[in-house]
A and B are shown apart, each in its own frame.
Chain A
Amino acid sequence: MVKLLRKVDKQRHWFRTDAQVHLDAGDVPADPLGDLRTSDNKLSVYQVDEDRSNIERIARALACGRQHLDDVGYVLFDVSVLEKASIDLCLIDGTTHDSAVNKCHADLINLTGNKLVTLARHILLEGESDIILKKRIVDLVREGLTSKELPEKVREKLPKI
């Protein structure tokens, strides 16, 4: 089953242990919703390969879109969650520095408050969260520059030694 990746700024907001009391009450904690910030009622996600081999590449591309390289937190959830939350998905190229990653991009569209809460609940219940540490991201960016998967202008994001 296809998995979708959503970048989150605070992986700690997605700790199931911390959310459990709200989940048990049929609710969700509010903080994770901060990582589901929509624009035009849309939310960016990326399709993950079945063997998950493109997760680091997606994370690297997302990291390069920031002011400086840092940890990249993300949540992963099954595409079947969208059906449970009545959310539509629209495949559309992304805008990162990595063209291959852009092809994995999709928007969750026509989102509403209720749909977002339902999505957050399913991610907390059935999904998973993880983080790629800054040091690994820096290594990945160096590799991406060497392999030309990333444009040269990304080099300025690398920490000065």
Chain B
Amino acid sequence: MPVPPIQRLEQTASTAPSQPPDNFGLITPKAETSATSPSPDALTVARNLVFVVVLSALSVSPRPINLPSWGRREIVASAESARAEVDPVLVEEMRQMFERGASEFFEDGMDSNFARELLLSVIEHGNAAIAAIAEYVFSSTANSEVGSEALRRLADVEDRRILASRWALLERSLRHKSSRVRDGAILGFATLDDHRALELLKSVETGEPVPELRKLIQKVIEQLGVTNGETAAQG
């Protein structure tokens, strides 16, 4: 019986040497239900409130493609596990979103309708959205340009619920057959700026067939090395 893609993804993540370190503290529900953590009900309420606020902000924006300032901020903490089933309805919604994104020209440093939709979907669906994105990115009909953009933008979202699943998707995408998707994954790790990706990037560098991507990986490794030094200096 074929293994569902999300299970394959999780198996990859669980066996890979570069699995997100345990000290994310996000993978096991137990870690998130400690005495200092809010109750699951409170988290659900908080999550819904944040979602409503973000939606409201977007709906009153006079500029239709204007995104809120959402770079690297924490949207909401949740006790949800990183595991998520693949929801066929969400996968179809995601496919349509990516197809709409294919008609956009993505400019670095500029907002896009696709990025906004993607963000809202991740806020609403958490790991299920990541699973649906993985389904699309690794499907035979995927648009590599939009897939690459999605991987880059996902790294901008600081939602603790998705850290592990996003990491697994980025890691898997480093070995995607499309150089454009790999480019998005590398840039995603650059945006995450987490020194724990150092070994992972070093492990794919030598096998990367595109010279420009090898150079990009080296650049990100250099950046993460500096980040590592900063982290160590901060104790």
A contacts, CB < 8 Å to B? 9-12, 14-18, 31, 34, 63, 66-73, 129-131, 133-136, 159-160
Contacts and interface: CB of A to CB of B under 8 A. Distances in A.
Task: Report which residue of B108, B110, B145 has the largest number of chain A beta carbons within 10 angstroms of its beta carbon.
Answer: B108
Given A11-B212, A12-B212, A67-B111, 16 more contacts: A9-B106, A10-B106, A10-B108, A12-B179, A15-B212, A17-B179, A17-B211, A17-B212, A31-B145, A66-B107, A67-B109, A68-B71, A70-B109, A71-B108, A71-B190, A134-B191
B220 interface: yes
14 contacts: A9-B108, A11-B183, A15-B213, A17-B211, A66-B109, A69-B109, A71-B108, A129-B212, A133-B190, A135-B190, A135-B193, A136-B223, A159-B71, A160-B73
A135 B187 CA distance: 11
B36 to A, nearest CB: 24
B108 A72 contact: yes
Contact of A15 (B109, B110, B210): B210
Interface in B175-234: 179-180, 183, 187, 190-191, 193, 209-213, 215-216, 219-220, 223
User: Top 4 A-B pairs ranked by shortest CB distance?
Assistant: A66-B109, A70-B109, A12-B183, A70-B108
A12 B148 contact: yes
A18 B182 CA distance: 13
A160 B106 contact: no
Interface in B20-54: none
Interface of B: 69, 71-73, 105-111, 145, 148, 179-180, 183, 187, 190-191, 193, 209-213, 215-216, 219-220, 223
Contacts of A11: 183, 212
A68 B145 CA distance: 21
Given A34-B105, A131-B219, A66 B179 contact: no
B182 to A, nearest CB: 9
Contacts of A12: 148, 179-180, 183, 212
A25 B108 CA distance: 31
A72 B219 CA distance: 13
Task: Report which residue of A73, A130, A133 has the largest number of chain B beta carbons within 10 angstroms of its beta carbon.
Answer: A133
A97 to B, nearest CB: 14
A71 B110 CA distance: 11
A15 B190 CA distance: 19
